[in-house]
Structure formats: structure tokens, C-alpha cells
Amino acid sequence: MCPAPVLITGAEGFVGAYLIDILKRHGALVYGTFFVREARHLDLLPESHWIFCDLTDRLSVFRLFRDLNPGMIYHLAGISYVPTAEADRPFALETNVKGTLNLLEACAEMGTSPRFVLISSGEVYGKVPEREGPVRETFPLRPANFYAATKAASEAIAHPFSERGDISLTIFRPFNHIGPGQAPTFVVSDFARQIARIALSLGEPIVYVGDIDVYRDFTDVRDIVRGYGMVYEGRVPEDVFNLASGRVVAIREILEKLISFSGKEIDVVVEPKRFRKAEVRRLQVDVGRFTRATGWVPEVPLEETLRNVFDFWVKKLSEEGT
Amino acid sequence: MCPAPVLITGAEGFVGAYLIDILKRHGALVYGTFFVREARHLDLLPESHWIFCDLTDRLSVFRLFRDLNPGMIYHLAGISYVPTAEADRPFALETNVKGTLNLLEACAEMGTSPRFVLISSGEVYGKVPEREGPVRETFPLRPANFYAATKAASEAIAHPFSERGDISLTIFRPFNHIGPGQAPTFVVSDFARQIARIALSLGEPIVYVGDIDVYRDFTDVRDIVRGYGMVYEGRVPEDVFNLASGRVVAIREILEKLISFSGKEIDVVVEPKRFRKAEVRRLQVDVGRFTRATGWVPEVPLEETLRNVFDFWVKKLSEEGT
């Protein structure tokens, strides 16, 4: 147990809400920084535990750390949507890498060697050829898009702080995670939203998709944050860990499952503009290192996750009536 | 042969001078950016081929590329002295990583997919335990200082540009390189300068050293730039390459050799303040990938390099009379 405050950056995001929840259940004293005011789930933390902070503003970050003196930092903040990062790379570099540097230097300045949990991404590996087998943490990082590049760069700049003892570092490389509340810019949430609209008779029975013949590892966000929460529980060593279910599924299969929930006949229209350039067909993940270190295994079945995501959109769209 | 201009960034530096020399001998049309006006070797390029450019200034970099339209870029510029990078990390991030991003985006804007030769560093691997054997390119990057972190981050952000076909990318990870003209902030140049002063009877016969019982791979800068020059010759594929001699030597041995050149009795005083924190005792490098790809092998014997460095300092100090 950790008596010092736990700080979550980017706490207002999709993953932040779930992480706040699990850390509170572990009895943690949770504070969260936010930058997008409207996105906060105000009920999850007392008002005074929501801290507005632009992480690219070095002095604000230093002041925050001097005031709060956190014992553990979960760094979730950053631009996480690939097209946004690609559209303005200098801004993505500033937000994701300079923001991380400011946090690392603020940790160093405290002189207390706090636990720093860097949430990187499975995308840092880039296009791993299928013949090389499931992706392990020792694989070289060859990020294929600029979002992934900023994550690999953030990992790089965290290492020397760990080396100097300024932080105690754990890096997670989560792969696709899904769950209720995720923005419809991500594929599963997008499909579920489209199909929920059809189920509610709010639109034509057509769902628009990109390349559905790719295989990915999808993990329930609640399993992901349960893994993150194990750091607070003192069960995770200083190391780099993949975090994923370890099983791949075709996007086509997810689409069919979501369609089956709707109880409707739905046409699938493939739109080439939705294809991501030169994707890897099948990306399988080896999560053995994290499982061996902590005993973590994914618990939420994919079908349950998909049902929850679908129900989320049905409820949300019903309330909005659009 | 490459008819388009070849641009060297940081051409005014130690390595830049040697690289200009070898590329000119290959018949290249060389342009060099500089930022430290005094450091230029004006005789090496026509005045109009020396281009003042602050690489952190995005618009200047874009304008330069629009004007020059280089077919090949050797990116040497950046803060390369570890304590400088550690002393102001935001500045090092801006100079080394943002500077690289500006170049990459300027390449993308040209739309000609130029060859981009990124000069990274062998330091990106960090402290590789001796039991893991000679460092190969597939080893994980765990930079132990912030200079090395900016190099690993630069590699990370270059990959997506290569992936998109915006550049044709070769990354070099050179290990310690030495030669006449290197600043005395680097260990061999430092020792040679101290001993040359003694040889010239300009100081007490005492040489101050740090931890001399570490083993490193030292390569002559002329061998290093011969490797870089092979990209211009069209002999290097798109890949990541270690560049080193492949043999390790104790710093103590280098010290003794330099002392022998002086013809004097010299006391060696170990100063703990010169120790770098928790260094790896012995860092051996596997250069097989580059040798197999190109046939490159180091040619200048270490003794000759050391003699050249010593003679350089004797000449320089004699001229200065200090």
C-alpha cells in the first residue's frame, strides 16, 4: 500500500476513468490532472482532486509536484489518436514527449524516487512480420506512425531517469483496448455506434467499414487497468511489459458479433478511405513476461466486452435521441 | 554517384570536417549547415556552400530544403556532449529531436524521398551487461544518459517517415571515435592534450584521469566517415548499423601509449570527480552487420590514431604557446 498521493495524468480520458475506479478500490489517494475540461467524470474524484495542468508547461508541472509530492505517477496523458499526431507532428512531439520530460524532471526534483508508470503503446513495434511470431518486449522498436514514434521516444527519455535513480520505472505497452466509453474514432467503438444507431432505427441498415480482414489483439479496458493497478499493489517489478489478451481475432468477427446484437439485417460497405496504409495483417502478442511476473491473465470474455460496448451506445444514443 | 546536392548538418563539427573531405573525394556536391560560426573549416567548402541554419527553426529548414533540394542528408548536427545535454534537457530535446523532426518533415515536403543518414550513437544501448556479449543492433535501447536518449528518440521519430516512403533511411550507431581535432572534452583528446602540454614543458608532469580501468571500442574518425561515405557510394542498404572497430581496449592502455609518446616521466592522478556514474566496465561491439553488408573493416591502427592525436595537440599548443 502506498500512503502518498497517486497522480494520474490525462485522468479525464477513456482509460483514466477506469484507472481511477480500480485505484480507489485499492484504497489509493487519487489525484488526476486534466486538460480537456468537459471530458472529466466529475463523480469519480472530489473536485479538489481534479487538477487542471498543461503538461507542456514546465513550471506548472514543477509547481504541481512540489505541492502534491506524489509517490506514484500513472502517465496516461497525451495525443493518442494516430491521425491527430500525424496531422501536427511538432505539436504531438511537444505534448507527448516534452510533456513526459517535464514530468520526469519534476520527479527528479522531488528527490523521492517515485514510481513512474509510463503508459506507452504496443504500436511502438511497428509492422512486425508474422513469421517472427508473437511480439515480445525484446523486439526492436520500429514505430510505423508518428503517434507510436512519440511513445517510443517517451520510453527512450525515461530510461536515463530510471538509471539515475530519479524514478522507479515501469513501462506498459498496451495493445488495442476496448470498452464502454471509448471514442468512436477507434474501430470497435465506431462499429458499435453505427450498429446501435441501426438497432434504434436511427439510420439506414448499412455499416461502413475499412479493412476487416486484419487480425488484432483486443483486450477489455478493465483487464488493462487491472494490470496497471497491480503496480499500486506492489506486484509489478521495474521493467517493460506488453499488455494484451494474447489472443487475436479478425475485425470481421467483431463486426459480425456486434451485428448479431442488433437483431437486424445489416449491409456491410467497405470504404477504402478507411484503410490504414500497409497494415500488418495479423499482430499476435506475447504477454508471458507480465503473466509470469504478476499472475495477471485477462478475465473479461471478448463477447461480454462487445456486448457492453454495444449496450453503452444503445443507452447513449437513446438518451441523446440522435 | 549522386548528382543532387549532399547536405551535411552540423558540418562545422569534428566529424563534419572529415565527412566533407571524404565526400568531396567521392566527387559529391557538398553543402554544409553550421550553427557555430567560428568552428567552420572555411577551406573545406566554398563560402556559398556553408549555410547558416538553426535546425530548431522549422521555417528556415523548410526554406533551405526548398532552395537546395538535397538528394542525400547526413544529419550530424546536435548536442553531442553528455554533460551539456544533461544540464539542460529541454534544450537538448529541442535541438536533437525537434531539429531532426524539422529535417524529416522538410524531406517529406520535397516529395523526392531523399536518402537520410541519421547519425545516432552506440550510447543508445545503455549499460549492456558483459555477459550478453558484443552489442548487436537487435539489442534493446536503454539509454543511460539524456544525450543517448535524444538519439534513441531521433531514431524513433525517423522510422515512420521511412515507413511512409518520405525518406530512404540508414541509421548509424557509431561508438567512441577519436582523431585529430576532437574537443578535449572527450577522454582521448583530453589525455593527449594534457600529455602534449607536458611534452612541451608547458605544465607539471602530472596527468589527471578518471576511471581508466574501463574497456571501450575506439575507432579512428577517418574509418568512421569512410563508413558514412559508403552511403553516397550506393553501397549501404536501408538499415541500422553499429559502427566501431570491433576491438576493445582499456583506457589505461591508451593513456600509457600517449605517455610513451611524450618521452617524459609522468605521474597519473586519479580524480573521482571525473568518473561517470556506474559505467559498464567493458563494452564490446559486434559490427558484423555493417561488414557483411558493405565489406567495411577498420583500417587505421589504434597506435597511428593516438600518434596523430598527440601530434595534433603538440602542433596546436606550440602555435598557441600556452
Q: Do A93 and B90 touch (CB under 8 A)?
A: no
B69 & B192 share domain? no
pLDDT at B322: 60
Write the DSSP string, A265-281: --EEEE-GGGPPTT--S
For residue B129, give the C-alpha cell. Answer: 551487461
Residue B223: which residues within 8 A CB-CB, separation 6 or more?
B177, B245, B298, B299, B300
Q: Which of A142, A151, A280 to mutate to test the interface with B (most CBs of B within 10 A)?
A: A142
A119 & A259 share domain? no
Domain contains B189: yes
Q: Do A140 and B143 touch (CB under 8 A)?
A: no
Point out which residues pair with A178 in neighbouring strands. Answer: A220
pLDDT at A37: 86
Domain contains A225: no
* Final residue of a structural domain among B174, B196, B226: B174
Split at pLDDT 50, 70, 90, the class of B278 is low
Q: Say how far apart CA B285 and CA B234 lie, in whole Å.
A: 25
Residue B2 scores a pLDDT above 50: no
Q: Say how far apart CA B310 and CA B250 lie, in whole Å.
A: 18
Q: Which of B146, B170, B238, B241 to mutate to test the interface with A (most CBs of A within 10 A)?
A: B146
Least Cα separation, residue B84 to chain A (angstroms): 15
pLDDT at B222: 98
B15 & B155 share domain? yes
* Final residue of a structural domain among B143, B174, B205: B174
Domain contains A203: yes
Domain contains A29: yes
Are the C-beta atoms of A309 and A192 separated by less than 8 Å?
A: yes
CATH number of the domain at B194, please: 3.90.25.10
CB-CB: which of A93, A156, A277 is closest to B141?
Answer: A156
Residue B198 scores a pLDDT above 60: yes
Q: Which helix (H) or strand (E) is A209 found in, with range? A: strand A206-209
B158 & B189 share domain? no
CB-CB: which of A140, A152, A160 is closest to B146?
Answer: A160
How many other C-beta atoms can be found within 10 angstroms of the C-beta atom of residue B173?
A: 26
Q: Inter-axis angle of helices B187-199 and B302-320, to 10 degrees?
A: 60
B25 & B156 share domain? yes
Point out which residues pair with A207 in neighbouring strands. Answer: A268
Low-confidence winner among A80-84, B219-223, B308-312 (lowest mean pLDDT): A80-84
- Between CA A58 and CA B221, with CA B84 as vertex, the angle to 5 degrees is 140
Q: Say how far apart CA A22 and CA A32 lie, in whole Å.
A: 14
Q: Do B145 and A126 touch (CB under 8 A)?
A: no
Are the C-beta atoms of A154 and A120 separated by less than 8 Å?
A: yes
B92 & B198 share domain? no
Q: Identify the domain containing residue A211 by its residue range.
A: 181-217+247-285+301-320
Which runs of consecutive H residues, i.e. helices, occur in chain B? 14-25, 58-68, 82-87, 89-92, 99-110, 146-163, 187-199, 221-232, 251-262, 288-294, 302-320
**What digits encode the pLDDT tens for the residues B120-159?**
999 999 999 989 999 999 999 999 999 999 999 999 999 9
Q: Say how far apart CA B98 and CA B302 lie, in whole Å.
A: 36
Q: Which residue on chain B is closest to A158 by alpha carbon?
A: B149
B55 & B155 share domain? yes
- Which chain B residues are within 8 Å of A127, Cβ to Cβ? 163
Domain contains B222: no
**Three-class DSSP category at A26:** coil
CB-CB: which of A89, A93, A156 is closest to B152?
Answer: A156
Split at pLDDT 50, 70, 90, the class of B277 is low
pLDDT at A2: 47
Q: Which residue on chain B is closest to A152 by alpha carbon?
A: B156
Least Cα separation, residue A139 to chain B (angstroms): 7
Q: How many structural domains are present in chain A?
A: 2
- What residue ranges of chain A have pLDDT lower than 70? 1-2, 277-279, 322
Residue A294: which residues within 8 A CB-CB, separation 6 or more?
A227, A230, A235, A236
B17 & B150 share domain? yes
**What digits encode the pLDDT tens for the residues B237-269?**
999 999 999 999 999 999 999 999 999 999 999
pLDDT at A39: 86
- Which chain B residues are within 8 Å of A141, Cβ to Cβ? 141, 156, 159
pLDDT at A1: 46
- Which chain B residues are within 8 Å of A277, Cβ to Cβ? 164
- Which chain B residues are within 8 Å of A160, Cβ to Cβ? 143-146, 148-149
B110 & B57 share domain? yes
Which chain A residues have any C-beta within 8 angstroms of a chain B C-beta?
Answer: 58, 89-90, 93, 97-98, 101, 105, 124, 126-127, 137-138, 140-146, 148-150, 152-153, 156-157, 159-160, 163-164, 240, 277-278
Residue A41: which residues within 8 A CB-CB, separation 6 or more?
A12, A17, A20
Domain contains A28: yes
ipTM above 0.90, yes or no: yes
| Predicted structure pTM score | 0.95
Q: What is the DSSP letter of A42?
A: G
**What digits encode the pLDDT tens for the residues B10-69?**
999 999 999 999 999 999 999 999 998 888 888 999 999 999 999 999 999 999 999 999
Residue A26: which residues within 8 A CB-CB, separation 6 or more?
A229, A232, A233
Q: Do A145 and B160 touch (CB under 8 A)?
A: yes
How many other C-beta atoms can be found within 10 angstroms of the C-beta atom of residue B86?
A: 16
Q: Which helix (H) or strand (E) is A255 found in, with range? A: helix A251-262
B133 & B211 share domain? no
Q: Which of B142, B170, B241, B276 to mutate to test the interface with A (most CBs of A within 10 A)?
A: B142
B72 & B158 share domain? yes
pLDDT at A320: 86
Amino acid at residue number A157: I
Q: Do A105 and B89 touch (CB under 8 A)?
A: yes
**What digits encode the pLDDT tens for the residues B126-137?**
999 989 999 999
Long-range contacts, B59-66 (Cβ 8 Å, 24+): B61/B102, B61/B103, B61/B105, B61/B106, B62/B102, B62/B105, B62/B106, B62/B109, B64/B33, B64/B106, B65/B106, B65/B107, B65/B109, B65/B110, B66/B109, B66/B110
A186 & A164 share domain? no
Q: Say how far apart CA A163 and CA A167 lie, in whole Å.
A: 8
* Final residue of a structural domain among B174, B206, B237: B174
Least Cα separation, residue B19 to chain A (angstroms): 28
Least Cα separation, residue B150 to chain A (angstroms): 7
Query: Length of chain B in residues, anyone?
Result: 322
Domain contains A265: yes
Which runs of consecutive H residues, i.e. helices, occur in A77-140? 82-87, 89-92, 99-110
Split at pLDDT 50, 70, 90, the class of B279 is low
Domain contains A228: no
C-alpha torsion sign, points B123, B125, B131, B134: negative
pLDDT at B282: 84
pLDDT at A278: 60
